[in-house]
Amino acid sequence: MTAQLERNLQCEILYRLNRYPVIACAIPNGIYLPSHNEAERVLVRRIVARMRDDGMLTPGAPDLVIAGERGAVMVELKRSASRDLFGRKPKGRLSPEQKTFQQRCVDCGVEYTVASSWDDIACILPELF
């Protein structure tokens, strides 16, 4: 999903979840550190490598974690199929890292869902509280 579309959907979902007795946490999937010269680029690479080694950046981690009284669900946000002036845009798909993370969740008994709208989230909320 393009970054802006995902950010808008994530903000909408977090806003709407404030009305429910659940806790929702957005998981950052990356970090942007601007660099203007080679010395800064080297420093940024070291910072990101250190964060990855320390487990702060997990490949395939979901976009949202929603926890309620009766359980939790991992939510990955993906673009739905659409059309615009430039043609058809296909539905978003899980990357290999996301599929691996999804399988780890299933193995641990944690629910994992792929959502492309608020309606996808609203149908799983009754199971959490």
**Are 65 and 17 contacting, i.e. CB atoms less than 8 angstroms apart?**
no
Domain boundaries, the chain: 3-27+62-127, 29-57
Average pLDDT of every residue of the chain: 86
Collect all residues with Cβ–Cβ distance below 8 Å to 36 and sequence separation of at least 6: none
Q: Detail the DSSP E strand segments found in 61-108.
A: 64-68, 71-77, 82-84, 87-89
CATH number of 3-27+62-127: 3.40.1350.10
Per-residue pLDDT tens over the stretch 51-95: 888 877 778 889 899 999 988 999 999 887 777 777 787 778 898
What's the confidence (pLDDT) of residue 1? 44
Tokens for 37? 């010269």
pLDDT above 70: percentage of residues in the chain: 95
